[in-house]
Amino acid sequence: MLPRVHGSALFTRGETQALVTCTLGTSDDAQIIEAFEGESSQRFLLHYNFPPFSVGEVKFLRGPGRREIGHGNLARRALTPVLPDQMTFPYTMRVVSDILESNGSSSMATVCGGTLALMDAGVPIVARSPASPWPGLRRPALRVLTDIAARRTTRATWTSRSPARARASPRCR
């Protein structure tokens, strides 16, 4: 989609849209984390951007808030189990998700778009990371089809989504 990045994807579902890019780097590009226990490095970086125009608001663009940090961590935890190990793929991966329009689960759009961008960049992912509506559904014969486009109840919007992966436990939101 974008010619100057290693991988990119435009994921759209309903009225939610995410432009996700993937850039690869060497192992020297890994993020160094300094903690009380010592230093560690992180070779998978995910940045989640939720600008105010994505929901029709006019505000100043500032640093990341609670939404960006929380949804970014949720998407990073969902994508981490599908990434190859250091020996198979020794590169640092940076995924940036820019939410262009939101009327639903933008973190799930980040997970799906991130998987597509990683695949476009040539990352040999272990398994696909699709979005499953409810993690409690375990019977394969039972199928639930739903959409994320503002289905309302009397109290709240339905946002029960979780990333489901092969051989990995689903996460709740």
pLDDT recorded at residue 43: 95
Q: Which helix (H) or strand (E) holds 169?
A: none
Q: Give the model confidence (pLDDT) of 28-45 as tens digits.
A: 999 999 999 999 999 999
Q: Give the model confidence (pLDDT) of 84-139 as tens digits.
A: 999 999 999 999 999 999 988 899 999 999 999 999 999 999 876 554 444 444 44
Q: Give the model confidence (pLDDT) of 151-164 as tens digits.
A: 444 444 444 444 55
